[in-house]
Amino acid sequence: MMENSKNHSRILSFPDKGRCLDALQLEQLEHAFRTWTEASKRSDVKASRKRILMIFLLIRYTGARLNEILRLDPLKDIDFENSIVFLRKRRGELCSACRDVQIPAMPAADIRKILNDLRTQGDDTVFKVDPAHVRRKFYDRAEDIGISRELGAPETIRRSRAVELMQSNMPLPVVQKILGHSTPNLAASYVEFSDDEIHQVARYFADREDRRKTSARNAFYGKIDKIRRGDVQSIVEILSISGYRIRAAITNQSLSSLGLKPGSLVIAEIKAPWVLLYKGEKEPKSTAENRFRGIVSRITSGKITTEVVVGIADGTELCSIITEGSRQALEIKESDPIWAAFNAFAVVLHMD
């Protein structure tokens, strides 16, 4: 069996999607906050609304709790040059007692502009706000886009951020670290991942989120565990942060030019058309070196081709593009048990 034997389901703590906003609703809510902020003509009211918008953006992109945001010291706790927010358990803690969260550059620039605007107006107490007031404004914006007030709560936005990150295939341990949860699966991993390496993954995701697009739908983040060198090509074995083992076949020239060696942090990407599907619980007999058991989470059918998304045990989603005729022949439906597989030659490795 090429799938890692570790039981990922025991460490998966996926938020209840029924109590979360989807990606479109998050974008609509952000637009509602921005429109509401710009609607006021009075400078004092606009300044107050900018403060609420900034709090929303920080929760939206850090997944932090409201009280963590209200404890921020904007002069010390936000590194705008690197788009990093430092979240402390208590105001004034040493940095060793806080966690840092990478956010996309675009919202970081917006937050910086709001802070500069407020300081220009002599406001140096930007986060000294009544939490109940913040909640009321969040509820109001939720109603603006036609959803229930409860779905606009800071806690819901925090959960929604976690779902958004996982649906974009950020590894579960990285999501846990961003949200301030423990990561028991890291301790059980065969390969140690340092905090800096976890941060590299978060930076990669933030950069990709800024771009909002990538040609490869499927990505695993991990360290090179072994390299088996051949005459022309080598097999590179990567242990993902979630504990899965991925095998990639690359030329020895690429191995040398990329400087790959055991311990190197890499991103393994696989395009959707290269992911093969095998319906059923039993592991298929296949020449594909990488095989993952999962459940069909959604299907987008077309006249010629169809997108099938498979959720595997750690919350990662693998996207496969197959013909609609093949889907019908295999009778693939949502919630079906299925195996997703891809050949080592289908894996493209990136150092950054």
Domains and CATH numbers, the chain: 17-162 (1.10.443.10), 218-350 (2.40.50.100)
Beta-carbon contacts of 204 under 8 Å, excluding residues fewer than 6 positions away, are 221, 267, 352
pLDDT at residue 110, as a whole number: 92
Evaluate if residue 235 carries a pLDDT over 70.
yes
Strand-by-strand arrangement of the 317-323 sheet: 276-279, 337-342, 290-301, 305-312, 317-323
Beta-carbon contacts of 194 under 8 Å, excluding residues fewer than 6 positions away, are none
In the predicted model, what is the mean pLDDT of residues 71-80? 90
Q: φ and ψ at 137, to 5 degrees?
A: -70, -35
Residue 191: Cβ-neighbour burial (10 angstroms; 0-12, 13-18, 19+): middle
pTM surpassing 0.85? no
* Banded model confidence at residue 10, pLDDT cuts 50, 70, 90: very low
Asked whether 318 and 312 are in contact (CB, 8 A), the reply is yes
Evaluate if residue 307 carries a pLDDT over 70.
yes
Mean residue pLDDT across the chain: 84
pLDDT at residue 14, as a whole number: 43
**Listed range (19-33, 54-68, 169-183, 286-300) with the worst mean pLDDT:** 169-183
* Banded model confidence at residue 249, pLDDT cuts 50, 70, 90: very high
In the predicted model, what is the mean pLDDT of residues 116-120? 87
Gap between the Cα atoms of 25 and 148, Å rounded = 12
More confident of the two residues 62 and 197:
62
